[in-house]
Amino acid sequence: MNIFSTIALASACTGLTPTLMQDCIPFEPLASNPELCVSGLLSVAGAVSPVCLPPPSIEQDQYEGYSVRVIEERTDLLLEAPLLLDAAGAGCFDTDADLIPGKIGAGEIVSSYLVHYDPVDLDSWPGSIHLTFEGEVAGLILTTSRLDATDSVLGLAEVAYPIAPSQRGLELNTSAQEDAVWISEDLHTLELSLSVVQELDQLRVVTTAAAQLTVYENDPSGWLIATAGSSVVTLDFDNVAGSTSVPIVGNEFLAELSCPILTDTSGNGIFVGNPAPGQVPNPPSPPNMLSPACTPSCEGVIRVSFSEPVRAVSAIFIDVEADFASTGLGLSLGAALPDVAFSSPQGQGTFSFLGVVSIVPFTAVDIHFATGANIDGVLIDDLAYATTATHLLASETIRQGVPPNPAALSPGQTSGPVIGAMWDPVIDHTTFMPGALVDVLALGVGPVNIPAPPLGTLLCDPAGPLQLVQSAAGIPFSVLVPSDCSLVGVTLCTQGVSINATAIALTNGLDITIGTF
């Protein structure tokens, strides 16, 4: 370790002004460097080189230099599982005790940047490095074990990364305080002091996109134009209540794209119906307004959760008056006030449009109903959202097998295998076992073709999990498909079995795919 790094690191995170660097001391923001070839990296200072073309290998001794390299890895990545961080939040980290672990939830959009330092000469020291990012620095991955574990998620497929037993992480807990990292209070700037003792130093900087929201107040056509390319779904509530306010469960709309679920987060309950005449003198369609319980006033928060990310949401807000600033749409879940609210009172009994489009997809939104000091609260109508999801048509394919079974099992009579619906296939006994007493439907996960005379040919794997549904002969089966969006696209094998006083016989199979319609 050379004298320069010794002096700098000795003063790191102590609150004293260092002699040779400003390690862990707040500094003035740097000007943007538009020529940088790493997207999302606004500026750099010190002996640092943004990498325009990633090398084939960043293993030890394969990408050496006298400067610290910044490699752009996965960007705008939708996390399919939570991502664990070694350090999160603003502060200085120069010992293991300083680390404050963090987690980014599934469904978030992140970008990853690998900081790589593999000096030609171990006695070299790059000095203090400043990196300023466009997105917020959600946290750092700087231990060898977690770097190894996230290579497959955040790393580049075309780059060879160090593998065990390589010690690529930072040394934060040595007597000499080898490495130190500082994250600025605004979570956009990183300052580093790196000193390689044995092999190389690497860390991952994980950023999240700052919420970039475009608001459309009383501009429904503008909102629709901004959502072009997506499927827009509108919930008008007409089919879930009558002309008087009644509570709903919140799962009445699971057949729609992205399977919206409504949840009351304020404890008032979710109601759909016609408000009091004094509140809305001339409602355009009485049975289709949504609100928390209007006792004594329609106020609270209703959360709408989606099974897949959406990028925009809107609603018609009714009767927005003095509480306009606390009425609207919140992407910051659980916040006291909405992110997007009305700019002024809209007037007694008025119908006002409020919509938002986010550059970062989201999976839930809070609808705020006059959560401040109120007169009589608000309601909403025509809740709409934009999604890239598509509907999936349920299917039923007849399979008779070899040798073939009689084609007696017919598809659903009133509905296919649709989530939230009753699937009702039936066995036709016109020519197949006319004297049958009982019919059984077997549902399994694996199609097979196993001749089993004299019964016929088994078409569903008997060794796998099976569900049996029974009915009187010739009566349609009643198979309730759960209102579970995770079932959409699932394929199952089904086959009928008929029984009379002396025999058992197998029908054809129906290979089904569960859909949304």
- pLDDT for residue 24 is more than 50: no
Amino acid at 231: S
Q: Collect contacts of 222-228 with beta carbons under 8 A, ≥24 apart.
A: 223/312, 223/314, 223/353, 223/355, 223/357, 226/312, 226/357, 227/311, 227/312, 227/357, 227/386
Band (pLDDT 50/70/90 cuts) for residue 13 is very low
For residues 392 and 235, which has the higher predicted lDDT (pLDDT)? 235
Tell me where in the chain the CATH 2.60.40 domain(s) lie.
395-513
CATH entry 2.60.120 includes domain 213-387: yes
For residues 328 and 167, which has the higher predicted lDDT (pLDDT)? 328
Band (pLDDT 50/70/90 cuts) for residue 32 is very low
Strands 68-72 and 48-51, sheet pairing: parallel
Instruction: Compute the radius of gyration of the chain from its Cα atoms.
Output: 31
Percent of all residues in the chain with a pLDDT value above 90, rounded to a whole number = 44
395-513: which CATH topology? Immunoglobulin-like (2.60.40)
* Residue 241 confidence (pLDDT): 66
Task: Look at 88-97, 181-190, 287-296 and tell me which has the smallest mean pLDDT.
Answer: 287-296
Phi-psi region of 45 (alpha: psi -120 to 50; beta: other; left: phi over 0): beta
Distance between CA atoms of residues 177 and 436, nearest Å: 83
pLDDT tens for each residue of 419-452: 888 999 999 999 999 999 999 999 998 899 999 9
pLDDT tens for each residue of 331-378: 888 888 898 999 999 988 788 999 999 877 888 999 999 866 556 678
Distance between CA atoms of residues 121 and 107, nearest Å: 42
**Do residues 245 and 271 make contact, with C-beta atoms less than 8 angstroms apart?**
yes
Distance between CA atoms of residues 241 and 434, nearest Å: 45
Mean pLDDT calculated for residue range 116-120: 88
Instruction: Please give the span between the terminal C-alpha atoms of the chain, in angstroms, as a whole number.
Output: 68
Phi, psi of 98 (to 5 degrees): -80, -20
Question: Rounded to whole angstroms, what are the CA distances from 179 to 11, 24, 119, 124?
Answer: 12, 11, 14, 14
Band (pLDDT 50/70/90 cuts) for residue 34 is very low
DSSP 438: E
Distance between CA atoms of residues 426 and 171, nearest Å: 68
DSSP for 480-509, please give it. EPPS-GGGTT-EEEEEEEEE-SS-EEEEEE
Distance between CA atoms of residues 405 and 292, nearest Å: 55
Distance between CA atoms of residues 178 and 95, nearest Å: 9
- Three-state secondary structure string covering 76-107: CEECCCCEEECECCCEEECCHHHCCCEEECCC
Distance between CA atoms of residues 274 and 38, nearest Å: 55
Phi, psi of 214 (to 5 degrees): -110, 125
**Around Cβ 34, how many Cβ atoms within 10 Å?**
7
pLDDT tens for each residue of 132-177: 998 889 999 999 999 999 999 999 999 999 987 778 888 876 555 4
Tell me where in the chain the CATH 2.60.120 domain(s) lie.
213-387
Distance between CA atoms of residues 509 and 517, nearest Å: 21
Distance between CA atoms of residues 249 and 401, nearest Å: 44
258's tokens = 């992205």
Minimal CA–CA distance to 388: which of 363, 416, 421? 363
Mean pLDDT of the chain: 84
Q: How many helices and strands in the chain, by DSSP H and E?
A: 3, 35
Band (pLDDT 50/70/90 cuts) for residue 23 is very low
Distance between CA atoms of residues 454 and 508, nearest Å: 15
Type and span of the H or E element at 181:
strand 180-183
Distance between CA atoms of residues 70 and 395, nearest Å: 50
Structure-derived torsion over alpha carbons of residues 216, 218, 221, 227, reported in degrees to the nearest 10: 30
25's tokens = 């001391």
DSSP 266: S
**Do residues 149 and 85 make contact, with C-beta atoms less than 8 angstroms apart?**
no
Q: Quote the distance between the C-alpha of residue 318 and its chain's center.
A: 30
DSSP for 137-163, please give it. EEEEE-SHHHHHHHHHHHS-TTSBPP-
313's tokens = 């949401």
**Do residues 356 and 216 make contact, with C-beta atoms less than 8 angstroms apart?**
yes
Distance between CA atoms of residues 279 and 282, nearest Å: 9
Task: Look at 123-127, 351-355, 482-486 and tell me which has the smallest mean pLDDT.
Answer: 123-127
- pLDDT for residue 77 is more than 50: yes
Band (pLDDT 50/70/90 cuts) for residue 99 is confident
Quick check: bond before 454 cis, omega within 30? yes
Type and span of the H or E element at 58:
none
- pLDDT for residue 1 is more than 70: no
Distance between CA atoms of residues 362 and 36, nearest Å: 30
Type and span of the H or E element at 292:
strand 289-292
